[in-house]
A and B are shown apart, each in its own frame.
Chain A
Amino acid sequence: DQQVKQNSPSLSVQEGRISILNCDYTNSMFDYFLWYKKYPAEGPTFLISISSIKDKNEDGRFTVFLNKSAKHLSLHIVPSQPGDSAVYFCAARLMDSSYKLIFGSGTRLLVRP
């Protein structure tokens, strides 16, 4: 029973174009959503987050959009760069006493030069 799903295991994009990574969730008890980036043989590193009371958060080339009615969020990277090639994990924080993060299975992004 995966509460956070990333249905696209991989995505390939040309350098300079937009990368859109998608994430769906099933639990309404999440209060924060986060994106993490992971390079091989390294741990995930925090990228950007959004509160459930907002619908957009922007940080440089990275923008996260939240559609609560659809239980969907997306990460936009514009313009994409070869250094963005990594696995991107979507995560959601449970709004209970544990506040634990639930992760998706990741999407591998390849940005082609």
Chain B
Amino acid sequence: DTAVSQTPKYLVTQMGNDKSIKCEQNLGHDTMYWYKQDSKKFLKIMFSYNNKELIINETVPNRFSPKSPDKAHLNLHINSLELGDSAVYFCASSPPAGTLLLGYGYTFGSGTRLTVV
């Protein structure tokens, strides 16, 4: 019973294609995130949703569009994929972002390795 699950784990696709990555959490958390781990290994936040409402939208190309049908799901759709989109994408969830008790921080999924060829 995985707490935060992402599918697929690996995704290889050609430039110009459109693809989606799905994320689901069963922790009852209100807030979900998408992070990108680039070639330099930094984990950079892309989006954050709180109860289906977008609260963080970093400087990310418009080709990336998150969708949250309910607070347990946050999917990432990418249009017109480019070579530079190749990375590992991590979904995460947490209690409301302003919660001061960070006893356990975010819970991350196992990542989706996207390779654009």
Which residues from A are CB-within-8-Å of B44? 103
Residue contact A49 to B48, C-beta cutoff 8 Å: no
Determine the main DSSP class of A at the interface with B: strand
Residue contact A101 to B45, C-beta cutoff 8 Å: yes
Which residues from A are CB-within-8-Å of B56? 98, 100
- 1/0 contact string of B44-79 vs chain A (CB within 8 Å): 110010000001100000000000000000000000
Chain B interface residue bracket vs A: 20 to 34
Chain A interface residue bracket vs B: 20 to 34
Which residues from A are CB-within-8-Å of B110? 41-43
Residue contact A105 to B42, C-beta cutoff 8 Å: yes
Of chain B, the residue at the smallest CB distance from A93 is B102
**Which residues of B come within 8 Å of A, CB atoms?**
4, 9, 35, 40-45, 48, 55-56, 90, 92, 97-98, 102-111
